[in-house]
Amino acid sequence: MNLYDRIPNNVNLSEDKRLQRALEKWLPNFLSWWHDMGPEGFQTKDVWLRTAVDVGSEGWAHFDYVKMPDYRWGIFLEPAEADARVGFGDNYGAPAYQEVPGEFRNSLRRIIVTQGDTEPASVEQQRQLGHTCPSLYDMRNLFQVNVEEGRHLWAMVYLLHGYFGRDGRDEADALLERRSGNPDKPRILEAFNQPCDDWLNFYAFTMFTDRDGKYQLSALAESGFEPLARTCRFMLTEEAHHMFVGDTGLSRVVKRTAQLMKQNPNEDVRALGGIPLDIVQKYINFWFSYSLDLFGGEISSNSADFFAAGLKGRFKEQAQYTDHVAADGSFTMMVVENGKLAPREVPLRNALNEVLRGEYVKDCEKGLARWNKALADEGLQQRLYLPSIRFHRHVGAYAGHQFDLEGNLISREEFEQKKSEWLPTIADREYVRSLMKPVTEVGKIANWIAPPATGIKGKPFEFEYVRL
């Protein structure tokens, strides 16, 4: 097999023998990780998958049946811009960095490793879900997300191997050694150590946690380190489908729940094998709060340093802002002072995690509006909502304090008392798991979820997305 068939790429890999050797050495380790930690079962089945083959606006992907271990995890960067410049920070307007600037080397490596670690982590979290899929359509989407997270790992490993020498290679190896949820060698970020073992978790994860990915990648797509910017721009193309899976998945659950509520005189969907809205709300509370943590502390010297260095920008930095230096702005946020919430003004650059988090929250609210429309369309009065950004936080200014769903400061005792109303209990999780019986007949769907409005890439829902 020639090099391009083994590692499809648009980075002229065949002309860089050193990099090629490094990646070819890493490839079998990646495959053995995929074998051990990738989706369990189904590895020998034909799955109708899209594979990235180019970066052009039309025809960047190819759809066909592929066995997952034969998927071609390629390396694709968006084309370079002529005369690219650092788009923000203290070096605003300087030529973009084509190599890693020595003084930013550690920061950049940390940014890339942290992003890279999330990609295999999510595959590990989702590895059992194939056994309980609600339809072949959903099973295919799960595997699509999984193989593309594998490709995102390749994207980050390319940067580590290509630009960081020895320590980059060591970091690339470590990305295959950590394990989601393993207390001895956990993944770096906590949301990626939480179990994702039922399909309600999966939809909430792809809605909220993959959406964090969108915002991190968008901020890095602005980076003055051009290889990182170009890599992240292309990753965003694939990420859109992951969020689609979560957003529409939850929408379909909500729709089905609403239909079942109308069928039972007491609106008791458990009696009819559906997922009650209060459980859906608890899963939202859980994954939204863990995903908020991924943006980092509200007041952060790292965010200021990364921005000053031109490494990590704001969401749509070029399109949305005119002042790209942001040296003297300020930002007011609520913090806990003397046992009370009080406003604090901080330099804007130190508040950029919170600024990015705010963009993310706005985006999540659009999802909630869609799900609430599904409820309204079915004639129901009940509504779902996002909890306060202060609720159930483990990172940043609100960690270590307790808040209710509206964001009011409460005591630990009050929180413990209310916890079972706000977050999934063991009984809730067991109930959801009890519904997770696989449905693998072409065109059939589990009782607890509505079918999708359309299939994938012009195919109907009644298509053999996975040949079992």
Give the nearer residue to Fe ion in terms of CB position, either 210 or 298. Answer: 210
330-337 and 402-403 strand pairing: unpaired
**Rounded Cα gap, residues 335 and 352, in angstroms:** 16
Contact 390, 288 (CB under 8 A): no
Tell me if residue 341 falls in helix, strand or coil: strand
* Min separation Cβ 228 and Fe ion, Å: 14
The residue range among 167-175, 202-210, 264-272, 299-307 that interacts with Fe ion, by the rule CB under 5 A, is 202-210
Total interface residues for Fe ion by CB under 5 A: 6
**Which letter does DSSP use for residue 270 in this model?**
G
For residue 119, the minimal CB distance to Fe ion (Å) is: 5
**Distance from C-alpha of 79 to C-alpha of 55, rounded to nearest angstrom:** 8
To the nearest whole angstrom, how small is the minimum distance from the Cβ of residue 214 to Fe ion? 8
CB nearer Fe ion, residue 239 or residue 354: 239
Question: Considering beta carbons, is residue 232 or 436 the nearer one to Fe ion?
Answer: 232
The span from the CA of 371 to the CA of 200, in Å, is 14
Q: Which range touches Fe ion (CB under 5 A), out of 74-82, 219-227, 236-244, 322-330?
A: 236-244
Q: Which is nearer to Fe ion, 187 or 390 (CB)?
A: 187
Quote the least distance from Cβ 316 to Fe ion, whole Å: 19
247 binds Fe ion (CB under 5 A): no
Instruction: Decide if residue 152 touches Fe ion (CB under 5 A).
Output: yes
Q: Is the dihedral of CA 315, 221, 242, 196 positive or negative?
A: negative
Nearer to Fe ion, 97 or 208 (CB): 208
Q: Shortest approach of Fe ion to residue 459 CB, angstroms? A: 22
Of the candidates 242, 256, 349, 357, which one interacts with Fe ion according to CB under 5 A? 242
Nearer CB in complex with Fe ion: 110/433: 110
The amino acid at 230:
R
Q: Which of residues 104-133 bind Fe ion (CB under 5 A)?
A: 119
Full DSSP string of 214-274: HHHHHHHHT-SBHHHHHHHHHHHHHHHHHHHHHHHHHHHHHHHHHHHHHHSTT--SGGGT-
What is the closest distance, in whole angstroms, from the C-beta atom of residue 175 to Fe ion in the complex?
A: 13
Residue 210 within binding range of Fe ion, rule CB under 5 A = yes
Contacts of 38 (CB under 8 A, 6+ apart): 68, 123, 127, 146, 150
CA–CA separation, 168 vs 346, rounded Å? 35
Q: In terms of DSSP bridges, do strands 409-410 and 466-467 run parallel, antiparallel, or are they unpaired?
A: unpaired
CB closer to Fe ion out of 202 and 403: 202
CA torsion, ordered 122, 233, 172, 197, to nearest 10 deg? 0
CB under 5 A: which stretch of 87-95, 102-110, 234-242, 360-368 binds Fe ion?
234-242
Looking at the Cβ atoms of 149 and 359, the one nearer to Fe ion is 149
**Candidate ranges 83-91, 146-154, 188-196, 424-432; the one touching Fe ion (CB under 5 A):** 146-154
Please check whether residue 292 is in contact with residue 445, taking contact to mean a CB–CB distance below 8 angstroms: no
Nearer to Fe ion, 140 or 152 (CB): 152
* Stretch touching Fe ion by CB under 5 A, among 232-240, 249-257, 260-268, 296-304: 232-240
Q: How far is the CB of 224 from Fe ion (least distance, A)?
A: 22
Q: What does the DSSP 8-state code read for residue 209?
A: I
The answer for residues whose C-beta is within 8 angstroms of residue 284's C-beta and 6 or more apart is 204, 208, 368, 384, 386, 387
Structure tokens at 126: 């989702």
Residues in touch with Fe ion (CB under 5 A): 119, 149, 152, 210, 239, 242
